[in-house]
């Protein structure tokens, strides 16, 4: 039986082969994981469709293959092979059975994330040689990079000393050691998607600053009564309320049909930085949810994103995207790249206390935050983007108005 790459997510057309979880000759049961693959959305395992013996691999690690490609072949396991070898069984058959069993027994899975395995493979390192420092001995990305560095240092010591002596006075003679990481899997998919977005959508970015002092005070007051809600939850709700007034940014453009589809539901993606790369979990129906519900769901999805456990449904279907880069130190601004087929992306930057002039012409210290709004200039004009961000500023700077909109 041929085990093929099947569609494991919306819009999936291809996947990268990360690693094989079995060896040729292994006996597998139905639903045992066989191959680990990486799509543009997630890492997944292809299970065995039946009980059998792994006979042949038809793809290699690192290959990018389309849906429908045969990955390996399994021979249905004869029920007689599962029985205890009888006395009549020849030595050759018995040894073959024992060999197959021993292979299956010895094969083991090292605890490591797919991207960590990829770094090791791309640098010709057997990941089993690395001592893991993570929980329960899990091998981390830092463990692999440290192993590579030590290996490079050992190689450097073997450089011919006389040659180094001749070049000692030449400042250009000493070259830094380096290592390579693979541009494939999620990193490659992100690159392809971002390049397509940048070259196919006429981006325009509008910048604004927001005084978040009042909303931070409300957040602190609520924390006093054990209602701890993240600032991102406030921002998400404010974006949703702004999209209600300016629905053109909650839309997609279909050039073939010459139409703009405007959505009533606000499914907002939240760009999240993980060790495996950028990933965008989606908070659905933000327009219907309370601040507390948004906070709890955001916290849950962020943990799943960091653990690389998000389902396809949790990563697809967004109608607008935000990026809160403030916690990472993004304090001035950026030009966010739109997440197609959406028409807008809003980035929130670092909050800093700055002296500002208030309405009474007094210099006061306030908590100020910059935002960057990128939009598809085919769908909306600059004046509409300014009006959208003005509405956002109005909601965040005036918590009483913000709360009134929630009634």
Residue 31 domain-assigned (yes or no): yes
pLDDT in tens, 263-320: 999 999 999 888 878 889 999 999 999 999 999 999 999 999 988 888 888 989 999 9
Residue 195 domain-assigned (yes or no): no
CA distance 128 to 133: 13
Say yes or no: 346 and 225 in one domain.
yes
* Separation in Å, CA 152 to CA 146, 214, 404: 10, 53, 62
Say yes or no: 8 and 65 in one domain.
yes
| CATH number for the domain that contains residue 103 | 2.40.50.100
pLDDT band at 332 (very low <50, low <70, confident <90, very high): confident
Q: Which letter does DSSP use for residue 52 in this model? A: E
Say yes or no: 180 and 315 in one domain.
no
Say yes or no: 375 and 301 in one domain.
yes
User: How many structural domains is the chain composed of?
Assistant: 3
Say yes or no: 46 and 75 in one domain.
yes
Neighbour order of strands in the sheet with 33-38? 43-47, 33-38, 14-20, 64-66
| CATH number for the domain that contains residue 296 | 3.30.559.10
Say yes or no: 206 and 270 in one domain.
yes
At 355, give phi and psi (nearest 5°): -75, 130
Given a contact cutoff of 8 angstroms between Cβ atoms, the answer to whether 279 and 262 are in contact is no
Say yes or no: 46 and 147 in one domain.
no
Sort 361 into a burial class: Cβ within 10 Å, 0-12 / 13-18 / 19+: exposed
Q: DSSP letters of 217-279?
A: HHHHHHHHTT----HHHHHHHHHHHHHHH-GGGSEEEETTTTEEEEPSS--EEE-EEETTEEE
pLDDT band at 191 (very low <50, low <70, confident <90, very high): confident
Residue 364 domain-assigned (yes or no): yes
Domain boundary (109, 130, 147) is at 109
- What residue numbers bound the domain in which 156 lies? 111-185
The pLDDT, as a whole number, for residue 17 is: 87
Contacts of 92 (CB under 8 A, 6+ apart): none
More confident residue, 77 or 74: 74
The pLDDT, as a whole number, for residue 364 is: 95
Residue 190 domain-assigned (yes or no): no
């Amino acid at each position: 039986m041929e085990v093929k790459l099947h569609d494991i997510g919306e819009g999936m057309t291809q996947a990268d082969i990360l690693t094989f979880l079995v060896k040729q000759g292994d006996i597998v049961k139905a639903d045992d994981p066989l191959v680990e693959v990486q799509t543009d959305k997630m890492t997944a395992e292809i299970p065995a469709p039946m009980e059998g013996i792994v006979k042949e691999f038809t793809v290699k690690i690192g290959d990018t293959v389309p849906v429908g490609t045969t990955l390996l072949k399994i021979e249905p396991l004869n029920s007689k092979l599962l029985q205890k070898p009888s006395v009549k069984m020849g030595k050759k058959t018995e040894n073959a059975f024992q060999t197959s069993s021993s292979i299956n027994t010895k094969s083991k899975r090292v605890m490591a994330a797919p991207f960590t395995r990829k770094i090791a493979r791309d640098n010709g390192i057997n990941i089993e040689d690395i001592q893991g420092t993570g929980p329960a001995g899990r091998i981390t990305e830092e463990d692999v990079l440290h192993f590579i560095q030590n290996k490079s240092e050992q190689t450097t010591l073997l450089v011919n000393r006389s040659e180094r002596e001749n070049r000692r006075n030449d400042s250009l003679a000493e070259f830094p050691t380096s290592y390579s990481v693979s541009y494939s899997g999620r990193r490659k998919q992100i690159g392809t998607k971002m390049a397509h977005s940048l070259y196919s959508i006429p981006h325009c970015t509008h910048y604004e600053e927001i005084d978040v002092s009042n909303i931070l005070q409300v957040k602190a007051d609520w924390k006093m009564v054990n209602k701890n809600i993240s600032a991102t939850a406030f921002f998400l709700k404010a974006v949703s309320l702004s999209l209600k007034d300016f629905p053109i940014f909650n839309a997609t453009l279909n050039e073939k049909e010459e139409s703009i589809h405007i959505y009533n539901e606000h499914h907002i993606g939240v760009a999240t930085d993980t060790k495996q790369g950028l990933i965008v979990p989606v908070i659905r129906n933000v327009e219907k949810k309370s601040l507390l519900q948004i906070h709890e769901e955001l916290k849950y999805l962020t943990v799943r994103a960091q653990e690389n456990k998000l389902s396809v449904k949790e990563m697809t279907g967004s109608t607008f995207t935000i990026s809160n880069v403030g916690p990472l130190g993004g304090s001035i601004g950026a030009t966010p790249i739109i997440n197609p087929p959406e028409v807008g992306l809003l980035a929130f930057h670092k909050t800093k206390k700055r002296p500002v002039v208030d309405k009474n012409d007094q210099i006061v210290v306030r908590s100020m935050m910059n935002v960057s709004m990128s939009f598809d200039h085919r769908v909306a004009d600059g004046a509409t983007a300014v009006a959208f961000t003005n509405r956002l500023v109005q909601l965040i700077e005036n918590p009483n108005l913000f709360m009134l909109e929630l009634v």
